[in-house]
């Protein structure tokens, strides 16, 4: 039975769909549907074909016996309609999600090999694409079946930037208290290293804190006072989300063009991955975009064009990434 839909999507989503359907026509109906959309847009704006470019070269995945995989799955459930994964390692949870996507059993596709299929850019070039196809690529979406959580401390301005990573859930205080100068004001490295700038910076912050305290003494409520917090006010929060969203965070924010706080946060979290998920962590040794692209044998290695930082960071592993002060 057919269905008639009135649907709109942005150009980036259409490009993602076109790149993926060109790469593998597993669903002929979807391929022809997306092709018809591209043809319709190209009739008005032919440059859409240039933006889509060449198809992604995605290697075909091996064929597995889906019935063996199904029986293994049923054995795990033990007759229950569902079972929580609370005692499973993150590595094993991810590997099982990949096997479920491919219809593979643990014997035919062990954990390390399964994770390698998705997180190795040489085998999954979707990871290295600048168009973000991984958000709709079915195999890459297995990354969304495992979650990471972190406690973080960032300035007010970086808190706003982190919220742009919409795949992550953020838990932060309902109301920020009046900051204390020593503990609750973030000092940028460039300011910290310049005595004159540091003195001025701290004096202005102290004046603002004193002003907030005066207003509080007059009965101004905390919600109103929150409008007076500077961008430097420290926010302590927790973030939680699927590995796919963290992959996006780690990739973008370990680029040397990233802002200092974002870069330091992402670098620190990636460096802690081995203790939580060693099989996953092995694929984050070079998490910056250039590091992923060099593993995928793609050129240019840096996708930033004229914004290339000039440092071949793709030659370094995460533990050797430099400190930044931009």
* Token pair in block for residue 91: 């590595």
Strands ordered across the beta sheet of 147-155: 147-155, 234-242, 169-171
In a domain, 59, yes or no: no
Q: Cα 207 to chain center, whole Å?
A: 38
pLDDT at position 26: 64
Record the pTM: 0.87
Within the chain, strands assigned E span 147-155, 169-171, 234-242
Which of 209, 237, 265 terminates a domain? The answer is 237
For residue 167, give its domain range. 153-237
Task: Give the up-direction half-sphere exposure of residue 230: CA atoms within 13 A in the CB hemisphere.
Answer: 20
Residue where the block lists tokens 């035919």: 108
CB 169 within 8 A of CB 162: no
Instruction: List 152's β-bridge partners, or say none.
Output: 237
DSSP 3-state assignment of 233? strand
Residue where the block lists tokens 């590997």: 95
Q: Are residues 242 and 231 in the same domain?
A: no
d(CA 87, CA 292) in angstroms, rounded, equals 31
Q: Are residues 279 and 138 in the same domain?
A: yes
Q: Are residues 217 and 102 in the same domain?
A: no
Q: Are residues 213 and 274 in the same domain?
A: no
In a domain, 47, yes or no: yes
Q: Are residues 167 and 19 in the same domain?
A: no
What is the phi/psi pair of residue 236, to 5°? -105, 125
pLDDT at position 1: 66
d(CA 90, CA 284) in angstroms, rounded, equals 15
The 3-class secondary structure across 76-97, one letter per residue, is HHCCCCCCCCCCCCHHHHHHHH
Instruction: List 235's β-bridge partners, or say none.
Output: 154
d(CA 294, CA 309) in angstroms, rounded, equals 16
Q: Are residues 169 and 270 in the same domain?
A: no
Q: Are residues 75 and 217 in the same domain?
A: no
Q: Are residues 71 and 143 in the same domain?
A: yes
CB 284 within 8 A of CB 291: no
pLDDT at position 73: 86
In a domain, 1, yes or no: no
pLDDT in tens, the chain (326 residues): 677 777 788 898 899 888 888 876 567 888 888 899 999 999 999 999 999 888 787 777 778 888 998 898 889 889 888 888 777 899 999 999 999 999 999 999 999 999 999 999 999 989 998 888 898 898 999 999 999 999 999 999 999 989 889 899 999 888 899 999 999 999 999 999 999 999 999 999 999 999 999 999 999 998 899 999 999 999 999 999 999 999 999 999 999 999 999 999 999 999 999 999 999 999 999 999 999 999 999 999 999 989 999 999 999 999 999 988 77
Q: Are residues 143 and 277 in the same domain?
A: yes
Which of 192, 211, 237 terminates a domain? The answer is 237
In a domain, 5, yes or no: no
In a domain, 2, yes or no: no
Q: Are residues 295 and 251 in the same domain?
A: yes
* Token pair in block for residue 169: 């859930």
Residues, the chain = 326
What is the phi/psi pair of residue 218, to 5°? -85, 0
Round the CA-based radius of gyration of the chain to a whole number and report it.
24
Q: Are residues 164 and 279 in the same domain?
A: no
* Token pair in block for residue 140: 């890459």
Q: Are residues 127 and 269 in the same domain?
A: yes
For residue 236, the 8-state DSSP code is E
In a domain, 219, yes or no: yes
Within a 10 A sphere around the Cβ of 291, how many other Cβ atoms? 25
Q: Is the peptide bond before 300 cis (omega within 30 degrees of 0)?
A: yes
In a domain, 4, yes or no: no
Within a 10 A sphere around the Cβ of 288, how many other Cβ atoms? 28
In a domain, 123, yes or no: yes
Query: How many structural domains are present in the chain?
Result: 3
């Amino acid at each position: 039975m057919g269905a008639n839909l009135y649907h709109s999507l942005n150009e980036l989503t259409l490009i993602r769909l076109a790149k993926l359907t060109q790469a593998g026509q597993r669903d002929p109906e979807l391929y022809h549907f997306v092709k018809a959309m591209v043809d319709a847009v190209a009739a008005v704006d032919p440059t859409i074909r240039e933006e889509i470019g060449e198809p992604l070269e995605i290697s075909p995945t091996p064929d597995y016996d889906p019935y063996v995989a199904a029986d293994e799955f049923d054995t795990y459930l033990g007759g229950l309609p569902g079972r929580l994964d609370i005692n499973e390692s993150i590595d094993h949870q991810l590997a099982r999600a990949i096997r479920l996507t491919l219809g593979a059993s643990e014997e035919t596709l062990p954990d390390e090999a399964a994770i390698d299929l998705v997180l190795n850019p040489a085998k999954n070039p979707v990871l290295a694409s600048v168009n973000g196809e991984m958000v709709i690529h079915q195999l890459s979406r297995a990354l969304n079946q495992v979650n990471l959580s972190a406690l973080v401390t960032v300035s007010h301005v970086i808190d706003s930037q982190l919220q742009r990573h919409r795949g992550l859930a953020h838990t932060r205080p309902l109301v920020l208290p009046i900051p204390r100068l020593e503990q609750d004001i973030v000092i940028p490295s460039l300011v910290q290293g310049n005595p004159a700038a540091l003195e001025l910076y701290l004096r202005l912050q102290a004046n603002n804190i004193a002003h907030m305290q005066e207003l509080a003494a007059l009965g101004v409520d905390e919600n109103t006072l929150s409008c007076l917090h500077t961008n430097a006010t420290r926010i302590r929060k927790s973030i939680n989300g699927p590995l796919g969203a963290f992959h996006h965070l780690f990739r973008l924010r370990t680029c040397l063009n990233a802002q200092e706080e974002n870069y330091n946060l992402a670098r620190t979290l990636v460096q802690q991955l081995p203790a939580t998920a060693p099989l996953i962590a092995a694929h984050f040794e070079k998490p910056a975009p250039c590091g992923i692209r060099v593993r995928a044998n793609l050129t240019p290695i840096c996708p930033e064009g004229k914004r290339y930082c000039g440092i071949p960071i793709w030659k370094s592993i995460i533990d050797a990434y430099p400190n930044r002060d931009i």
